[in-house]
């Protein structure tokens, strides 16, 4: 009810911000007499662009971060409606197009549903749990959802497979690559399943001829404390000598976006691959022996350190020009894998 209350209070996108405490208090007094913390939490989430692909509230002040930092107290922050919320979700609220019911003490009227012009549930997704049931719906791209709605309006008997021509899959605010795209049809048809997401990795040249791997997009489930956990897990691998290929890891993320940097050592040896396989590195990786240059082996090990299996990287590496440098091989392999996942 936060967005409805913002609309009722006249806190529009083109009006000055108002204190969050005022919005929370008004919502609690009129519509939600169950404490202020849950109301403010909902207001905060609706303003976070790393949790919502289409934020519904324009927050001013400290509304938390992707790394799990909490929002400031409601007495310090301010908010107002986003333009899309006002025009696509609340615009017709005063035109008697939805039913209204009495509030908890029958002193006010509240809408049963909002007169939304777009299916916000599909665009922003939702997570919730109730008595004997739970749901977890992923977010989707706004433009694709609108195209899907138009197709459904033209053909109410459209199949899920046909609808996926317009909405090919989820679109997470944090980016990432869906690795099990071939299972999406079954997931959409049945309403159950797991969507597997992998971060996006890019390569950069560092000083001294070293290779630098940059994570620019992360899985949606990593937001919050899981980013710190990921960094600590990598540090633990380095400290325990389970990997000697990463010499440093740093989190250079900012308001511009995610940037987790892994610095690799000068020469990534292939001995560890040979040792773990108990034989020749080329045979282990299913790469033709003629193509098993040191650069190919180094690229293979670097990709395995990052969590890519030999089964998905080796066939691609085996088709590339072995005269390419390690950096070029990794970059091309990641590009081809990304293209494959996008299909």
Contact call for residues 47 and 117 (beta carbons, < 8 A): no
DSSP string, 207-230: GGG-EEEEEEE--GGGTTHHHHHH
Contact call for residues 36 and 87 (beta carbons, < 8 A): no
- DSSP SS3 for 295: helix
Which distant-in-sequence residues (6+ apart) come within 8 Å of 135 by Cβ? 126, 127, 128, 129
* Distance, CA of 325 to CA of 20 (rounded, Å): 55
Strands 200-205 and 197-198 turn out to be: unpaired
Two structure tokens written together for 313: 């990287």
Give the residue numbers marked as catalytic: 76
Q: What torsion, rounded to 10 degrees, do the Cα atoms 173, 176, 177, 183 define? A: -50
């Amino acid at each position: 009810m936060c967005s409805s209350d913002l609309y009722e209070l006249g806190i529009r996108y083109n009006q000055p911000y108002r204190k969050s405490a005022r919005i929370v208090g008004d919502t609690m007094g009129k519509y939600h007499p169950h404490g202020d913390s849950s109301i403010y939490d909902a207001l905060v989430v609706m303003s976070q662009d790393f949790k919502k692909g289409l934020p519904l509230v324009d927050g001013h002040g400290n509304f938390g971060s992707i790394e799990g930092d909490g929002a400031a107290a409601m007495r310090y922050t301010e908010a107002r409606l986003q333009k899309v919320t006002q025009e696509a979700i609340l615009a017709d609220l005063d035109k008697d197009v939805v039913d209204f019911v009495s509030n908890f003490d029958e002193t006010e009227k509240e809408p049963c549903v909002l007169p939304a012009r777009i299916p916000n549930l599909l665009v922003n997704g939702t997570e919730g749990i109730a008595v004997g049931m739970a749901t977890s719906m992923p977010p989707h791209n706004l433009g694709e959802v609108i195209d899907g709605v138009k197709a459904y309006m033209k053909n109410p008997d459209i199949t899920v497979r046909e609808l996926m021509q317009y909405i090919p899959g989820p679109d997470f605010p944090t980016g990432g690559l869906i690795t099990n795209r071939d299972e999406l049809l079954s997931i959409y048809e049945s309403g159950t399943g797991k969507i597997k997401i992998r971060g996006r990795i890019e390569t950069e040249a560092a000083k001294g001829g070293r290779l630098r791997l940059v994570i620019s997009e992360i899985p949606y489930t990593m937001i919050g404390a899981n980013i710190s956990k990921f960094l600590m897990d990598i540090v633990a691998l380095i400290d325990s000598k389970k990997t000697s290929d990463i010499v440093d890891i740093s989190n250079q993320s900012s308001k511009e976006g995610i940037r987790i940097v892994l610095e690799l050592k000068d020469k990534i040896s292939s001995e560890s691959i040979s040792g773990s396989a108990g034989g020749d590195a080329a045979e282990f990786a299913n790469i033709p022996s003629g193509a098993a240059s040191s650069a190919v082996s180094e690229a293979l090990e670097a990709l395995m350190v990052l969590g890519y299996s030999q089964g998905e990287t080796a066939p691609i590496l085996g088709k590339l020009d072995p005269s390419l440098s390690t950096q070029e091989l990794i970059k091309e392999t990641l590009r081809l894998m990304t293209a494959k996942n996008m299909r």
